[in-house]
Amino acid sequence: MLKHSHPLIGVIGGVGPYAGLDFVRNIFNNTRALKDQEHLNTLLVSCPAIIPDRTKYLLDEEPVNPADGLFESAKILYAAGARHAAVVCNTAHSDRIFKPFCGMVADSLPGMVIINMLSSCADFIKEKHPEIRTLGLLATKGTYKSRVYKEYFKSVEGFTLLEPELPGQDRISDAIYSLDYGIKAHSDPVQAKACNILLYEGFRLLDRGAQGLILGCTELPLAVDPTDFSTPVFNPGLLAARELIRLTAPAALTGE
């Protein structure tokens, strides 16, 4: 286990792999650091082979709960000394995955704090944009179907949450999963077709009355440029990265 002044920030990546890199980049980008040694200690575990697709599991197309693989990843972080971590997948925050995962962590890894990307995001919106009551959600089918954002943002926080109609959900799913042009298969660079679909579906949600958009899948920030929209675009991964810095090394957080 690492012994030094700064704590070790854990990141459970691999869901998908590039989103894990994007998340750690968010930690680095939001740290006050002008030289290597001022950056925070991070450990990124990316073991995608042991974590089945979250959406497929929620759609009952995959029997194994991804929670088990997430827990294996958490154990690696814990053994190395990490006591704060995030899971870099929105879909994994649905109750059927996140609750058993957090249960295993609570039972076996004492003192380990797993932050929740959805509450990082809701807390930020309430504090910085109190005028926003209606949000549009761009996400995977698993996230829509699991109602994870609906439950949290609507039932717990009282927002109105707009989702695309089913054909729009299908298009977004293709923008993420298509082997021809989806972000998971083509991440570097992402394909214009994926970007265009997300732009179109984002504008449709704004037309229906959304005052802001949530990028509710960690692949989406790879393909969506927030400056394309005139309304705020919220990236739960970015906000969760900032929360991890705030919890472990608050003086290092930029822009506070």
Site residues for its own copies per CB under 8 A: 2, 4-6, 8, 14-18, 21, 24-25, 28-29, 33-53, 72, 76, 79-81, 177, 179, 184-185, 187-188
Q: Decide whether 3 or 207 has the Cβ nearer to its own copies.
A: 3
Helix (H) or strand (E) holding 12: strand 8-13
Q: Decide whether 18 or 159 has the Cβ nearer to its own copies.
A: 18
CB of 177 within 8 A of CB of 16? no
Q: What are phi and psi of 134, to 5 degrees?
A: -120, 125
Q: How far is the CB of 14 from its own copies (least distance, A)?
A: 7
Q: How far is the CB of 154 from its own copies (least distance, A)?
A: 29
Q: Decide whether 227 or 230 has the Cβ nearer to its own copies.
A: 227
Q: Decide whether 89 or 195 has the Cβ nearer to its own copies.
A: 89
Q: How far is the CB of 177 from its own copies (least distance, A)?
A: 8
Q: How far is the CB of 232 from its own copies (least distance, A)?
A: 21
With CA atoms as reference, report the closest residue to 98 among 108, 86, 109, 82: 86
Q: How far is the CB of 18 from its own copies (least distance, A)?
A: 6
Give Cβ neighbours of residue 35 (< 8 Å, ≥ 6 apart): none
Give Cβ neighbours of residue 127 (< 8 Å, ≥ 6 apart): none
Q: How far is the CB of 220 from its own copies (least distance, A)?
A: 15
Length of the chain: 256
Q: Specify the amino acid at residue 177.
A: Y
Q: Decide whether 25 or 96 has the Cβ nearer to its own copies.
A: 25
Task: Give me 209's structure tokens.
Answer: 């009355």
Q: Decide whether 13 or 202 has the Cβ nearer to its own copies.
A: 13
**Sequence-ordered alpha helix ranges (H) in 92-235:** 95-108, 117-128, 141-146, 148-149, 166-177, 192-207
Q: CA-to-CA distance for 36 and 253, rounded, in angstroms?
A: 16
